[in-house]
Chains A and B, each alone.
Chain A
Amino acid sequence: MTAQAQDLVGATRKESRRLFDSWWQEMTAAAGDGRPTAYVFVMGSFNELLRVFDFVINFPEITALQTAVRGQSMAYLQAAEDYGFSPDICGYVKVDVGLQLKGGEHPHGRVPRPALALATNMCNTYVKWAEFWEHHYGCPVFVLDLPAWRGAGAAPDPADPAFERDRRYVEGQLRELIALCERITGRPFDIDRLRESMAETNRMAAVYHEVLALNRHRPAPFNAAREGITYQGIANLYRGAPEGTQFFALARDELRERIRLGLGTVPDEKFRLLLAGTACYTHFKRFVELFESWGGVFVLSTYMIFAGGGFVPGFGYDLTRPLESLAEQMLQAAWWGFTGSMFYPQEWLANAVRDWGVDGICLHGVKSCRTTSTGLPDVREWLRTQRDVPGLFIQSDLVDARLWSDAQIKNRVDAFFEALAARKAGAGR
């Protein structure tokens, strides 16, 4: 390995740590000095707009996930359940509630109080979650409606009057949000700063797609469940910021180097998999290991699609009309998220199976997320009967360790790989 290659391999991991640390330092500082903080979610991001007003941006889904990876989510869940929240609701919500009840104290730092809470209807639980902050802190809550997939029809066409009607509604709401941000921060809206941030997102989105596409290579240079979650985190936290673009350029270069060196994410790639849904973060290492021990690699995940910035293929803001274009892209992203990976994903999944050379799909239903999980058994059935794509459906959770049943999941995973192996052998591959 050359010195240059040694520099690159592993560089992404180091840089991601630095960026996560930097975000936590900013949050912890804001908790002390009172700089206005906006709470937002990973689906339907407002980063470009919020950066104009210099908000610190908190993503509670990310902070919740991090507690689980650290093995500390249960204490927060318990605090929320003691407060009155049911065991049957979203674990992300409860971890965050527990975090707020503990004064924002997190294993990575301290979460500041919200000056503003923003949600979209991409997940109805977002709205209920934001209402908790409203009740707890008395902060304003702004819900942005993104009417998107309605059950039928091709991808939205900007020339369609119905789409234009939706776009005008979203733009009108964004203008109301801008007025609210001005009131909260005392800063005037600067459309040129918005334009700069959107230009940065355009650059980042292009490199993000390059990174995803590199995993079409055999062997795959990254695992979409493991490295993928880091990429998603950075895509959300640093959307609209130069650090985000630079990170993905670095990741792209490292992945290219890994491909050049023949380094797959597992030593001997045998099965290429697609993860529909999320991983289980209380047992993250174990989750990935169950598949990698069979030489199985997640080459793509729907989580990277619907919660990785919502960068529609061909994504690009029109900087000559920033607000109009922001509204348009948010709608397109919502539509893409709903049909590409959530409510009506079968065609998208079938195409991804073809394009990424996937042998089988793992559909992971999590109790915490009915948005992504409700119809997964039906999607598996459709893929099996209509496209002859093998699928494994398992259930656990994102952050609630009580819902992980190791023996049961392992049995199902093992049986799935045995079937995949038999299928490959039968196909003479």
Chain B
Amino acid sequence: MGELERIVDDCRALVEDPSYPAVRRWLADHPGGKVLGHFQVYFPEELAHAAGMLPVKIMGAGSTVQIRQADARIAAFVCSIVRSSLELALSGRLDFLSLFVIPSICDAVRNACGVWVRNFPQFPTRVLYFPQNAASAHAVDYLAGEYARLVRLIEETTGQPVTAERLAASIAVFNENRRLLRELYRIKRETPWLLSALEAYVLTRAGGVMPREEHNALLRRVLELVGQRPAKRQDRIRVVFEGGYCEQPPLDMLAVIQDACYIVDDDLLIGLRWLVDDVATDGDPLANLAWAYLNASSYSPVQHDPRKPRAEMLLRRLRAAGADAAIVAAPKMCEPGLEEQVHYTRTLEAAGIPYLVLEFEETMTTFEQVGIQVETFAESLLFEFA
């Protein structure tokens, strides 16, 4: 096994371990250190980083944890990621949290915030309202104010002042991380035979549960190694995977898909790549972060922004990646994802772009059906293109 494969394996082990080993290592190395957990999709981790906190993405438990207690606290028709994240907390696996922030992305998770507040009085749980009136002339100012409100809470939690200088330094760390992730995705788009979608995914996801400086070092090494791979291009169709912005598809599902296609771009964990350019490090850092969220950002079904028509953005993603087709997925019981799916598929149909609709759940354990669907889809396209 080469060094790159070993790094990928380590990352996979890290993201599949519900005990958050990297977080616990960081706490052992930083006695008295505080951890800020945040739910999907995007969170300005710089705010926590600038106070010396470790920001950690809470993104469900996949099939690694059996839901035992959460089902008694949350209605049955709620998506899996909301239930499994609560299960992680109820089972003590998130005992390291000093603060938890839930962006107001959907009705289920915002309501679940009340469940967290009632059940975990030992740490604050807060809702963060990102503007849904994103085109308003007042939105940047409002969001900067929201960030300032959070900064005050972070300062109370840590006892550390969050100065503009510290914030600027943190923004620089995360700019570097986003630049490295953009490079990783460029390789996946341009030479997908050098880096599989699954590899890129676990490398990206590891960033959500480990200190970002470590992740930056890891990605730099990966990018050096990828170029040395002897892999050769294969005759596969190129697809974009859309539908992984919140609940994550099981790793084995991605593996099944990539057996038949090159996944050249996707919206998996889009929150880690939400800001598509460097954030300015001069001037007011909170205003810079707020401006970037609204004006230099990707798209997802849970942000309403008339300046970013999502179906058109999907077409652009397909064109930029030179993709032949799209896989339009949505998690079971995910209201925004399932609603967006309709508009995506109708737009793709109108544009004459082939697509495959998939529904998934993070707890899925059998993938034969998905495999057959994807294989049939890919073969039919190869036959058509031939």
A367 interfacial contact with B, CB 8 Å: yes
Does B306 contact A147, Cβ atoms closer than 8 Å?
A: no
- Looking at the complex, which of A14-22, A169-177, A196-204, A309-317 is the stretch in contact with chain B? A169-177
Q: Which residue of B has the minimal Cβ distance to A342?
A: B111
Does A374 contact B74, Cβ atoms closer than 8 Å?
A: yes
Question: What's the Cα separation between A124 and B76 when bound, in Å?
Answer: 19
Other than the known A165-B142, A169-B145, what 14 A-B pairs have Cβ atoms closer than 8 Å?
A85-B338, A86-B338, A86-B341, A89-B338, A121-B129, A131-B304, A131-B339, A151-B113, A172-B138, A346-B118, A365-B77, A375-B114, A378-B118, A395-B75
CB distance from A339 to the nearest CB of B (A): 9
Q: Which residue of A has the minimal Cβ distance to B347?
A: A135
Does B110 contact A173, Cβ atoms closer than 8 Å?
A: no
Partner of B73, one of A131, A150, A176, A378: A378
Does B145 contact A165, Cβ atoms closer than 8 Å?
A: yes
Question: What's the Cα separation between A372 and B111 when bound, in Å?
Answer: 7
B155 interfacial contact with A, CB 8 Å: no
Question: What's the Cα separation between A88 and B75 when bound, in Å?
Answer: 13
Does A89 contact B74, Cβ atoms closer than 8 Å?
A: no
A144 interfacial contact with B, CB 8 Å: yes
CB distance from B141 to the nearest CB of A (A): 8
Does B342 contact A84, Cβ atoms closer than 8 Å?
A: yes
Chain A interface residue count, CB cutoff 8 Å, equals 56
A162 interfacial contact with B, CB 8 Å: yes
A376 interfacial contact with B, CB 8 Å: yes
Residues of B within 8 A of A (CB): 72-78, 82, 102, 104-108, 110-115, 117-119, 124-129, 131-133, 136-139, 141-142, 145-146, 149, 301-302, 304, 306, 330, 332-333, 335-336, 338-343, 345-346, 359
Note all chain B residues with C-beta closer than 8 A to A93. Answer: 339
CB distance from A165 to the nearest CB of B (A): 5
- The residue in A93, A124, A371 that gathers the most chain B C-beta atoms within 10 A of its C-beta is A124
CB distance from A114 to the nearest CB of B (A): 15
CB distance from B289 to the nearest CB of A (A): 17
CB distance from B318 to the nearest CB of A (A): 19
CB distance from B254 to the nearest CB of A (A): 22
The number of residue pairs between A and B whose CB atoms lie closer than 8 Å in the complex comes to 172
Leading 5 A-B pairs by shortest Cβ distance: A374-B111, A343-B114, A172-B138, A371-B107, A370-B107
Question: What's the Cα separation between A375 and B108 when bound, in Å?
Answer: 8
Note all chain A residues with C-beta closer than 8 A to B145. Answer: 165, 169
Question: What's the Cα separation between A90 and B149 when bound, in Å?
Answer: 33
A66 interfacial contact with B, CB 8 Å: no
CB distance from A150 to the nearest CB of B (A): 5
A208 interfacial contact with B, CB 8 Å: no
- The residue in B73, B76, B341, B345 that gathers the most chain A C-beta atoms within 10 A of its C-beta is B73
A143 interfacial contact with B, CB 8 Å: yes
Question: What's the Cα separation between A32 and B316 when bound, in Å?
Answer: 39
Note all chain A residues with C-beta closer than 8 A to B139. Answer: 145
Question: What's the Cα separation between A342 and B108 when bound, in Å?
Answer: 11
Does A151 contact B129, Cβ atoms closer than 8 Å?
A: no
CB distance from A164 to the nearest CB of B (A): 11
Question: What's the Cα separation between A176 and B82 when bound, in Å?
Answer: 35
Partner of A377, one of B72, B106, B341, B342: B72
Residues of A within 8 A of B (CB): 83-86, 88-90, 93, 121, 123-125, 127-129, 131-132, 135, 141-145, 147, 149-152, 162, 165, 168-169, 172-173, 176, 342-346, 365, 367, 369-379, 381-382, 395
Note all chain A residues with C-beta closer than 8 A to B343. Answer: 131-132, 135
Note all chain B residues with C-beta closer than 8 A to A371. Answer: 107, 110-111
Does B301 contact A381, Cβ atoms closer than 8 Å?
A: no
Question: What's the Cα separation between A55 and B128 when bound, in Å?
Answer: 33
A374-B107 contact in complex given A131-B304, A165-B145, C-beta closer than 8 Å: yes
Partner of B306, one of A141, A345, A379: A141
Q: Which residue of A has the minimal Cβ distance to B134?
A: A143
Question: What's the Cα separation between A220 and B118 when bound, in Å?
Answer: 32
11 A-B pairs within 8 Å (CB atoms) are namely A83-B342, A84-B346, A85-B338, A141-B304, A142-B133, A151-B124, A169-B138, A176-B138, A342-B111, A344-B117, A370-B108
CB distance from B243 to the nearest CB of A (A): 12
Note all chain B residues with C-beta closer than 8 A to A343. Answer: 110-111, 113-114
Q: Which residue of A has the minimal Cβ distance to B77?
A: A367
Does A145 contact B77, Cβ atoms closer than 8 Å?
A: no
Does B115 contact A85, Cβ atoms closer than 8 Å?
A: no
Question: What's the Cα separation between A375 and B76 when bound, in Å?
Answer: 10
Question: What's the Cα separation between A168 and B138 when bound, in Å?
Answer: 9
Question: What's the Cα separation between A381 and B76 when bound, in Å?
Answer: 16
CB distance from A215 to the nearest CB of B (A): 26
